Amino acid sequence: MFLKKHLLVLFVCFASLLNGQTNIKAMFYNTLNYNSDTQSQERTPYLKTILDDLQPDIFMICELKNEIASNYMFDNAILPFNANFKKAEFKPSESPATGLLQMIYYNSNKLELEFNEVIPTGIRDINHYTFIVKSEDDNNENVRIEVFATHLKASRGFDNMEKRLNSVENFTRELDRLPKDSFVLFAGDFNFYTSNEPGFQKIIDENNSIQLIDPINRLCPSFPNDGVDYFNENNFDSTYFWNNESFADVHSQSTRNGQVNGDGSGGGMDDRFDFIMMSKNFTTSSTLSYKPDSYKTVGNNSNCYNSFVSNSTCTGEFSQNLRNALYFFSDHLPITLEMEFNPSALNVESNEGVSFLSSNIVKNNLQLNVSEKVNRIFIYNQLGQKIIHLKNVNSKTLKIDTETLKKGVYYIKIDNYKVQKFIKI
């Protein structure tokens, strides 16, 4: 039986290689005030256990305190689980919550980090990362994943709901700046108590420039049109909130019935706070697609409502060893989903709509016309090194200063158009 099982695994892996398909696993995790102190360092081995079990390729976190903590986590939990991982450049907070930060780590065998920025809000940053999916076929155009990670304002009350909404509006404005066919992941500890909340409704608004969806479509029933304000705690009805037993299989907080080492929430598993949302094109594209049934609230065996995740009676898909590690590391559960990349299904991008004004042989400036306003421009040298990056260009006529470039061949990538070559003389 053991041999048959392993032969099956080898066969599946071999078939995947023959088809040129790459699976990419994304994971988001609230790491509970992860700091550079002794307490955080002592629980780091539990994270190593979790990563060994889950094997993510994109690892997004929130509640990171500082760069020293990020480096310690990277050296002592992430690299030991996968030596091919790299970390993004650490970005200090540009929002008031300077000790509640996001960070991302990634499998460099599958992904290349192209872009990294902070989107400040009035509360907590939203971090934006652009990844290129690596392909062995050099003839294929690059496929990018736009990844956003955040930690929205916690707690009930109208003011906190408004703060969550305002942060989400900062995010959706960023969607307006991306090509409309972009693949987008939006992950975080959202702190929504119900999908009826205005901030959550804004995330899934069909009128957004890029439509986002809940991969598992587990939304709360809509509030009835009966004139009752269900956000008022005096009118609370769990039917319309995630805090009820019908959502027990997707609850991600809290892993505990009491605090551990004086930190974290101890209310038991009764809220769906943690998410990875995705753009709708993951369900329609044959190039980069959501793997059906791969979205997991890791450690939740669907039978621990109002209990703690390591309860020995909560048996199921996720092992006792993993659930013990989850219990001791954080008061939240990780969220994972998988994507399937099929480079053979790539459509050849068109150059129609992009033209050089005079020639692709230039001296002091490069001039092009495009049929619609562009957002991003990248220029690379012959070694593939990015030497110019322009964003939010918002123009149909492009004039780029090339006077400082050395003589030679260069490549320009404009949004989702094919790469163009030009020569500096």
Looking at residue 52, its pLDDT comes to: 98
Tell me, yes or no, whether 140 and 219 share the same domain: yes
Tell me, yes or no, whether 326 and 279 share the same domain: yes
Tell me, yes or no, whether 335 and 383 share the same domain: no
**Structural domain contains residue 15:** no
Average pLDDT of the chain is 90
**Structural domain contains residue 1:** no
* Region 206-221 average pLDDT: 97
Higher pLDDT, 359 or 214: 214
**Structural domain contains residue 12:** no
**Structural domain contains residue 226:** yes
Tell me, yes or no, whether 278 and 418 share the same domain: no
Task: Find which of 97-106, 354-363, 392-401 is predicted with most confidence, using mean pLDDT.
Answer: 97-106
CB of 388 within 8 A of CB of 413? no
CA dihedral (140, 56, 65, 204) positive or negative? positive
- Answer yes or no: is pLDDT of 411 > 90: no
**Structural domain contains residue 221:** yes
Q: Which CATH number covers residue 383?
A: 2.60.40.10
Confidence of residue 11 (pLDDT cuts 50, 70, 90): very low
**What range does the domain containing 403 cover?**
354-424
**Structural domain contains residue 403:** yes
Looking at residue 384, its pLDDT comes to: 67
In 177-281, where do the E strands start and end? Answer: 183-189, 212-213, 274-279
Q: What is the pLDDT of residues 216-266, one digit of tens each?
A: 999 999 999 999 999 999 999 999 999 999 999 999 999 999 999 889 999
Which two structure tokens, joined as six digits, stand for 347? 């459509």
Task: Find which of 293-302, 357-366, 387-396 is predicted with most confidence, using mean pLDDT.
Answer: 293-302
Cα end-to-end span (Å), the chain:
67
Q: What is the pLDDT of residues 263-298, one digit of tens each?
A: 999 999 999 999 999 999 999 998 999 999 999 999
Looking at residue 381, its pLDDT comes to: 81
Q: Which of 92-101, 220-229, 408-417 has the lowest mean pLDDT?
A: 408-417
Closest CA to 131 of 152, 151, 108: 108
Q: Which CATH number covers residue 98?
A: 3.60.10.10
Give the domain-ending residue among 345, 372, 398: 345
> Coil, strand or helix: which one is 240?
helix
Which two structure tokens, joined as six digits, stand for 376? 């991003």
**Structural domain contains residue 371:** yes
Q: Which of 36-40, 166-170, 324-328, 368-372 has the lowest mean pLDDT?
A: 368-372
pTM higher than the cut 0.85: no
Q: Which of 143-147, 169-173, 224-228, 380-384 has the lowest mean pLDDT?
A: 380-384
Residue 277 C-beta-side C-alpha neighbours within 13 Å: 26
Q: What is the pLDDT of residues 113-156, one digit of tens each?
A: 999 999 999 999 999 999 999 987 655 578 999 999 999 999 99
Share of the chain above pLDDT 90, in %: 72
Looking at residue 335, its pLDDT comes to: 99
Give the domain-ending residue among 311, 345, 379: 345
DSSP 8-state class, residue 96: S
Tell me, yes or no, whether 28 and 166 share the same domain: yes
- Answer yes or no: is pLDDT of 73 > 50: yes
Tell me, yes or no, whether 375 and 338 share the same domain: no
Confidence of residue 361 (pLDDT cuts 50, 70, 90): confident
* Region 364-383 average pLDDT: 81
**Structural domain contains residue 186:** yes
Confidence of residue 12 (pLDDT cuts 50, 70, 90): very low
Tell me, yes or no, whether 233 and 184 share the same domain: yes
Give the domain-ending residue among 345, 368, 384: 345
Task: State the angle between helix axes of 38-54 and 320-329 in degrees (0 to 180), rounded to the nearest 10.
Answer: 150
Tell me, yes or no, whether 364 and 217 share the same domain: no
Tell me, yes or no, whether 408 and 361 share the same domain: yes
Looking at residue 412, its pLDDT comes to: 86
Looking at residue 17, its pLDDT comes to: 38
Tell me, yes or no, whether 86 and 116 share the same domain: yes
Tell me, yes or no, whether 298 and 385 share the same domain: no
Looking at residue 143, its pLDDT comes to: 94
Task: Find which of 234-243, 366-375, 401-410 is predicted with most confidence, using mean pLDDT.
Answer: 234-243
Tell me, yes or no, whether 293 and 146 share the same domain: yes
* Region 15-21 average pLDDT: 49
- Answer yes or no: is pLDDT of 15 > 50: no
Looking at residue 387, its pLDDT comes to: 84
Query: What is the number of domains present in the chain?
Result: 2
User: What is the DSSP secondary-structure string of 257-316?
Assistant: SS-BTTBS--S-B-B--EEEEEEGGGGT-SSEEEPTT--EETT--S--BTS-TT-TT--S
Looking at residue 19, its pLDDT comes to: 46
